[in-house]
Structures are given as C-alpha cells and as structure tokens.
Homo-oligomer: A and B are copies of this chain.
Amino acid sequence: MLKSDSQFSGTQMSPSTKSAILVIGGGEDKVDRRNILHEFFHRAGASDASIAIIPSASREPTVVGDRYRGIFEDMGAKQVKVLDIRERSEEPQFTEYIGECSGVFLTGGDQVRLGELLADTPLIERVRRRVQLGEMTLAGTSAGAAVMGHHMIAGGSSGEFPNRSLVEMAMGLSMIPEVIVDQHFHNRNRLARLISAIAMHPDRLGVGIDEDTCAIFERNGLLRVMGQGTVTIIDPQKISSNNHSRVDGSAPLSLHNLGLEVLCHGDCYHLLEGRAISPEYVQESTVSGKRVEG
C-alpha cells in the first residue's frame, strides 16, 4: 500500500543500516535504563555523535532542551546543541549545524506549534534529505512523533466512538509520509481518534505507539519495535467499506475489513509487504535484497 515516493521504496540500502527514524510514543524512560534514548544515542554515533535537540514543541523549551542535553552528554555524546527555534525567521542560524550533526531529536509539546515552525523550512528539508541519505538519525517523542507523517493528528478527544469531529488533522513534517502516528496510544484511549484519522486518509497506515515505546523506521523498509509497551498498526490496505464521506461530523464511522497488528519489543512490520514479523523470523536477510526491492 505504501507509495512509491517513500524513502523506503526506492532506496538502495544495506540490511543493517544504523541510521533510522525513531518514533517514540511519549513518556520514554529518562532516568533508569533509558533504553530508547540510548538507542537514539547509539544510532546517532554514540561517542562520535553530534546531536541537535529541537525543543520547539514545548512551552518550556529551555528546560526541556537542557534536560535532553544533559542526558545525551551524560551518555558521552561528542557534541549536543539545543536549537531553541521560536520563530520561523530564526531558523536559518541553525541550518548549518543540522548539516553537520548526526542526530536530531524532536521533543514533546504541541505538535501544531512544531509543525507551524518547521514545515517547509530549509532546516527541515535538510533533515529530510540527510535522513533519506542515511547520514543522520532522527527521533521524535510525543508531539515530536506526531509530526512524522504527511498527515498529522493535531488534536482530538477520546472516550467516544470513532467520528469525524473526534480528530483534528493538520500537515505534518512528512518524514514518513505513509503513516499517521498517534502517541500515548493505549495510555490515553486513542484508538477511536486514530481510526477516525484513517477513515479520512485510508491511503495511510495508522501507527499507535504506547508510552516508553518506540517504532524504529529502518531504512530497509522495516518498522522495528522496542520498549515497554506496544505499537498498534491499523492497516486499511484491504478496506471494503468506509462511510467517512457520507456522514456528518459526530455520526459514528464505519470501516470494514481493517487489519490490526499488536506488536511488542522485537517485533517488526514490513512496510512494503504490509505484514508483521515475529522476532524469531527477523533476520536481516529477510529484508535485504529480494523482498525490499520492487
């Protein structure tokens, strides 16, 4: 189902590339084992890492930026800078560092603010290009995760059935255009709003990510799960009925024949083939060469 202009489909890649996009469901462990943050640190180059933290989604960018800087410095990164972008006009001064660094981390906060600040800027275009080329690892947590798709869940509510007015959509940063991400997924009862988003955009894949859980989008076309919770895939590839265009805002939606995957640590999902793979079958050879081409 994924579009051929994806960064996954046409790219020639080695089976075990390190650079990736880490989409974190919020609430990642920042104190104890810090597994997900360590994965980002490692993929950004570990002790050779030059990391850019973009805290612009947050209302307290200084506090939040400093916190992540402390964490990655503590892990031993070579260089960590907080790019405290507060206006679109400010961003050119940071673009140079983005051209040099090996990892970019988008913090939580308000995804609408983050999208408005960064969408279609030279800075984010440079991030996209360098991620596509495998030159850098990108991570985003919570709001920083929400912006990853072409379509973004800007807001919404919970506690009721799927309906059009349950979710507000906006344009994301299109780092992984094929997906619509929802974060804090089981934690905040977000099945209905993710379904509502998919009803509106049934050519996308719904990816609901729990707290302290990460969907790692590898460059070889695999989504790999790590962390404490689950990643839920809502797959409309074979949808047979969708009443979205025929009902009013608050009427219940109806979607037939969706696919549902519940993935935990070690599981993978093959984005091009649209199927889950258990850890015991995840061998790098599975996704290299023949299956990923095409």
Residues of A within 8 A of B (CB): 158-162, 186-189, 191-192, 195, 210, 213, 228-230, 234, 240-241, 243, 251-265, 267, 275-276, 278
Contact = CB atoms under 8 A, between A and B. Distances in A.
Nearest to A196: B262
Given A161-B186, A162-B262, A262-B195, A252 B276 contact: no
Given A161-B229, A162-B186, A252-B229, A259 B259 contact: yes
B189 A160 contact: no
A261 B255 contact: yes
Closest 3 CB pairs of A and B: A189-B189, A252-B264, A161-B229
A112 B4 CA distance: 52
Nearest to A25: B161
Contacts of A275: 256-257
B241 A278 contact: yes
Contacts of A256: 261-263, 267, 275-276, 278
Contacts of A252: 210, 228-230, 264-265
Given A189-B189, A192-B186, A264 B260 contact: no
A161 B261 contact: no
30 contacts: A158-B186, A158-B189, A159-B186, A159-B187, A160-B210, A161-B186, A161-B229, A161-B264, A162-B262, A195-B262, A228-B252, A229-B252, A230-B253, A230-B254, A241-B276, A243-B264, A252-B264, A254-B262, A254-B264, A254-B267, A254-B278, A256-B261, A256-B263, A256-B267, A256-B278, A257-B259, A257-B261, A258-B259, A259-B259, A260-B260
